[in-house]
Amino acid sequence: MSNLYSIINGAIVSAQDATISISDLSIQRGYGIFDYFRFIHNQPVFLEEHLNRFYHSAKVMHLPVAQNRDELTAMILELQKRNNLPDSGIRITLTGGYSPDGYNIAQPNLLITQSAFTYNKDNFYKGIRVITYEHQRQLPQVKTIDYLKAIYLQPHIKEHHADDVLYYNQEEVTECPRANFFIVNSREEVITPGNHILRGITREKLLGMDAFRVKEGFIKTADLATAREAFITSTTKNILPVLEINGKPVGDGQPGPITTALFNQLFAFKEIY
């Protein structure tokens, strides 16, 4: 990040000097929201959808955004111009601000950061291993900065020789900490949980793909053992096959045909310009 810039409340600053007061409510009370989207070959990808979600998250969390969409978009484009990173990720964070009493929301701080990111297609073929864990994210429909449980669980995940955790709520599978979850069932339907989850942008795109039978539905923990295929989706991961759940292979332990077909369609749609 040697020569990169960030934006704090509209001011462009060197990323190395991008600081906020420790009285900010994110540091004091873990209170904030964010969104993250990518530039691919200098084009912002699904920017409108990400901004929609950002403003929605802010509203739900009672955080007034001083910048309207045009102003926020102008800042993002200015940052992209300065940093000159054709392939990158932009994170927009909105915190609870400098709270005089350390508890109640003040004027939010808006932080925009950018870092290089290039999608590596090899990741698709490697896939990932997950373990299940009973936990329900609080306010799951909002993209908050709360990843307390996910980071707390990192050693647990490593001990179990897995790459990520798959949450479930009672018997209902929900999502991964930073990705939505899908299975392909024995009827070749592609199912993703519809409740108690964050509505990921990649997830929404898949639900809109008419050529495939992608739909919302319940996935019980017991369904995981019989799933033909499984995968997760996110802005950085696109579609990533889940090849092992709790130490047992999904299907034959290789990326399945429907997962691969969906991936190819998403890839052609999103990553190639």
Binders of its own copies among residues 241 to 270 (CB under 8 A) are none
Using DSSP's 3-state secondary structure scheme, residue 180 falls into strand
Closer Cβ to its own copies, 27 or 209, answer by number: 27
Contacts (CB under 8 A) with its own copies, residues 122-181: 135, 138-139, 144-152, 154-155
> Which member of 12, 45, 105, 106 binds its own copies (CB under 8 A)?
105
Which residues, 6+ apart, have CB-to-CB distance to 70 below 8 Å? none
Q: Do the beta carbons of residue 271 and residue 119 sit within 8 Å?
A: yes
Q: Minimal distance in Å, beta carbon 115 to its own copies?
A: 8
Applying CB under 8 A, the site for its own copies has a residue count of 43
Q: Tell whether residue 106 is a contact of its own copies (CB under 8 A).
A: no
Q: How far is the CB of 138 from its own copies (least distance, A)?
A: 5
Q: Is 8 in the site for its own copies (CB under 8 A)?
A: yes
Q: Residue 150 or residue 184: which is nearer to its own copies going by CB?
A: 150
Long-range CB pairs of 109-112 (<8 Å, 24+ gap) are 109/8, 109/9, 109/20, 109/24, 109/26, 110/7, 110/8, 110/9, 110/10, 110/65, 110/66, 110/67, 111/6, 111/7, 111/8, 111/18, 111/20, 112/6, 112/7, 112/8, 112/75, 112/76, 112/79
Q: Does 67 bind its own copies (CB under 8 A)?
A: no
Only segment of 14-22, 69-77, 233-241, 251-259 that touches its own copies (CB under 8 A)? 14-22
CB of 154 or CB of 226, closer to its own copies: 154
**Does residue 49 contact residue 204 with C-beta atoms inside 8 Å?**
yes
CB of 144 to its own copies, least distance (A): 6
Chosen residue from 88, 113, 169, 202 binding its own copies by CB under 8 A: 113
- Amino acid at site 207: L
187-246 residues near its own copies, rule: CB under 8 A: none
The string of DSSP letters for 26-86 reads HHHH--EEEEEEEEETTEESSHHHHHHHHHHHHHHTT---SS-HHHHHHHHHHHHHHHT-S
Q: Which is nearer to its own copies, 146 or 204 (CB)?
A: 146
Of 172, 169, 167, which Cα lies nearest the Cα of 147?
A: 167
Q: Which of 3, 104, 118, 195 binds its own copies (CB under 8 A)?
A: 104
Q: Are 117 and 41 in contact (CB under 8 A)?
A: no
Closest to its own copies by CB, 29 or 213: 29
Q: Which is nearer to its own copies, 159 or 210 (CB)?
A: 159
Q: What distance lies between CA 36 and its chain's CA centroid?
A: 7
In the complex, the residues that contact its own copies under the rule CB under 8 A are 6, 8, 18-32, 61-62, 91, 93, 95-96, 102-105, 111, 113, 135, 138-139, 144-152, 154-155
